[in-house]
Chain A
Amino acid sequence: MSDGLLEQPTGRQRMGFFTDTSICIGCKACEVACKEWNQVPDDGLSLLGMSYDNTGMLGADTWRHVAFIEQDRPLGRQNNSVTVMPTGPSGTASTAAVVAAGLGDKHGSMLGTQTGRVHPGPQPHATPDGHVSPGGRTELRWLMASDVCKHCTHAACLDVCPTGSLIRTEFGTVVVQEDICNGCGYCVPACPYGVIDRRERDGRVWKCTLCYDRMTDGQEPACAKACPTDSIQFGPLDELRERAARRVEQLHGVGMPEARLYGADPDDGVGGTGAFFLLLDEPEVYGFPPDPVVTTRDLPRMWRHAALAAAGVAATVLAAFVTGARR
């Protein structure tokens, strides 16, 4: 690669990811590249029944996760030929039911990718006999999106870390110092995106570093490097935001009014994210929180309540000695 190197980041610029899901082809090169470069441990092999997604969700051992969503909806002006395709009826509804059962009442959390391993058994329409028809399908689109740590401007994980293990780097990214983390686990429920997690056998927490090691060497992160369509774009955040805004306009212009940015607004609940996305549906469809807020935004108010409550406790005990003395 001759001219693909970035200019050496100066460390004064905030670097980030723009993940344009409209051109993601779901090849999972990012997942693989991340695992290899960062030597992220194996986390089991399972069939989740969620379209082509057998990764499940981000976690201590999954720092890039490609989501697959099949929808009975058209993609822009595209003629999808579904009406002439001998596919049989859509299986999404029946698989979704199997997946939901596999996830149980924990909804797939806390189980890593072992989560929701499904045994679908024969599907009702798997082998249609005789004439094969579209089976009632008229529309089809397939959404794919590569999820990652958002490297929030106001990062809850970093705020709540009691050891100072989580730090903000010179590139504006959020990184765990593994020699400091004592595995208290506070960052895990603090993250409004459900990204960071504790590795069970190791005891510490792990997440995407935006390839801190590569960046300090002037290299782009492994996932962006591996992405064959440039769905994952890496660069100075302000430039990425400009480009993303143009891309949204472009898509609106060709009949994709549903194209929208997620995390690009510096006024949102986390002050904008260092890794932001172009989505073709509501964020929750991809497993993102629709309106995340950094928990520490409310912390000053919480401390005031705690101080008032503490005064109330002391006053109650005082009153107890005054009234209780008579009894």
Chain B
Amino acid sequence: MTRHEVRRDGLRDETPEREALIGAKGGRRPGRGGEMVPPAEFRSYYGRSVLKPPVWSARDIAGYLFLGGVAGGAALLAAGGDLTGRGSMRRAGRLISAGATGLGLAALIHDLGRPARFAHMLRVLKPTSPMSVGTWLLGGFGPLVGAAAAAELVGAATAAGVSGALPPSAGAAVRALGRSSGLAASLVAPALTTYTGVLIANTAVPLWHDAHRELPYLFGASALAGAGGLVAASTAVDEAGPARAAGIAGVLMEQALDRRIHKRLGMVAEPLDQGYPGRLMRASRLAGRAGAVLLAGSALRRSKALDVAGGLALAASSLLARFGYFHAGNASATDPRYTVVPQRERADRAGSVGAQHPADLGGGRGVRGEGQEPA
């Protein structure tokens, strides 16, 4: 409405409103009175969220965090099985890895607001966007592990002499293709298991961001637990040793890292222990311990039943942990406490709020859930 000029040569024709001397008249001593409530924990705008929590669906994205880990871990075990002559482990690893990759990709596409525009992900490769990096990782990994799994299926069909399958002479070529693509996939696989930690840590979500030092390790360990469990459950008992060992090591490291996150993050880690995410995390810890014990039992006296039970328990533990961290992150983003309190402490320590922090006015903290200082 008013003349709204911003010119290089100064502030001509200034509108008087801009310079309104609010609070100048009245002759009282400024800054008197003020808060009539005892200092409470933190202030906020009516207790509203400061951040927007992720719009991702838990089934798709927490599910993908699990599936991506399983895909990577199983590809590594498949490559190891291939190189050490463990045929059943190679087969199980390749099939599990390819299945998890396919399902994970479907979940990612399903979660998009515009699934038909999935290909827009391929316009760019941005190192500042873990989602972009991950898309390209998956783009390289998927075909490789798919080819390895296809070779497995064709090989099995050929060996069984299924009509319409390749002639037995082609068997060697198929095996060579399977081996080379399986080994190539195992080069990408470790990154696939850990980048998801960066994916969620690279947000403003307090729990996820603050845990950015531990999350890649925790997700890598969790991937080993999930993949080790599933591969151990579907491999011949006398070949499953490495899968059991990887699964047990994974779940132990995962739980140690979870404890470390709790210790280092303090109050920001609270949502991991409360409500629904808290129940998920407790169930994950129980399933993980049970699975480790069962698989260790099977390592001592080989038993298919122990392998299946322990392996599935480990996979469940990994799945529950991913959902637990997902939901706890959501909770830490919605509650303004986890945004305001650490940032306020940081700002106070740095001694700046953008400007001054007058003791006679700003000292108190309003009651939680109120934007104002009620009388």
> Footprint of B on A, CB under 8 Å?
3-4, 6-7, 20, 22-23, 50, 56-57, 59, 67, 69-79, 89-90, 92-93, 96-97, 99-100, 103, 105-110, 136-139, 156, 159-165, 180-186, 188-198, 202-205, 220, 224-230, 233-236, 239-240, 243, 247-248, 250-251, 254-265, 268, 279, 281-292, 295-296, 298-299, 301-303, 305-314, 316-321, 323-327
CB pair A287–B355 under 8 Å, yes or no, is no
- Given the contacts A69-B45, A181-B114, A182-B114, A287 and B55 also touching, CB distance less than 8 Å: no
- Whether, in the assembled complex, B266 has its beta carbon less than 8 Å from a beta carbon of chain A, the answer is no
With the chains together, A184 CA to B131 CA distance in Å?
Answer: 9
Cα of A321 to Cα of B259 in the assembled complex, Å: 27
Which residues of chain A are near B17, meaning CB under 8 Å? 23, 228-230
Task: Tell me which residues across on chain B come within 8 A of A296, comparing CB atoms.
Answer: 128, 202
Does B313 sit within 8 A of A, measured CB to CB? no
A320 adjacent to B202 (CB under 8 Å): no
Q: Which residues on B are within 8 Å of A, measured CB to CB?
A: 1-8, 11, 15, 17-36, 42-56, 72-73, 76-77, 80, 84, 111-115, 117-118, 120-121, 123-124, 126-132, 135, 190-191, 193-195, 197-198, 201-205, 209, 212-213, 216-217, 219-221, 223-224, 228, 241-246, 249-250, 253, 275, 299-300, 331, 333-336, 339-340, 343-344, 346-347, 350, 352-358, 360-362, 366-375
Cβ-defined contact, B194 with A309, below 8 A:
yes
B135 CB contacts on chain A under 8 angstroms? 162
The answer, among B11, B126, B335, B344, for a CB contact under 8 Å with A290, is B344
Known: A92-B372, A184-B112, A233-B18. A258 touches B120 (CB 8 A): no
Query: Hey, which chain B residues are within 8 Å of A319, CB to CB?
Result: 245, 249
Q: Do residues B131 and A186 form an inter-chain contact, with CB atoms below 8 A?
A: yes
Q: Report yes or no: B30 in contact with A107, Cβ–Cβ below 8 A.
A: no
A206 to B: closest C-beta gap in Å: 11
| B21 engages A228 (CB within 8 Å) | no
- Could you tell me the distance in whole angstroms from the C-beta of A264 to the nearest C-beta in chain B? 7
Closest to B369 in A: A100
Q: Which residues from A are CB-within-8-Å of B111? A: 184-185
Chain B hits for A110, CB < 8 A: 52-53, 55, 334
**When the two chains form the complex, which single residue of B2, B51, B243, B253 contacts A191, counting CB atoms closer than 8 Å?**
B51
- Output the least CB separation between B223 and chain A (Å): 7
Choose from B30, B43, B347 the contact partner of A291 (Cβ within 8 Å). Answer: B347
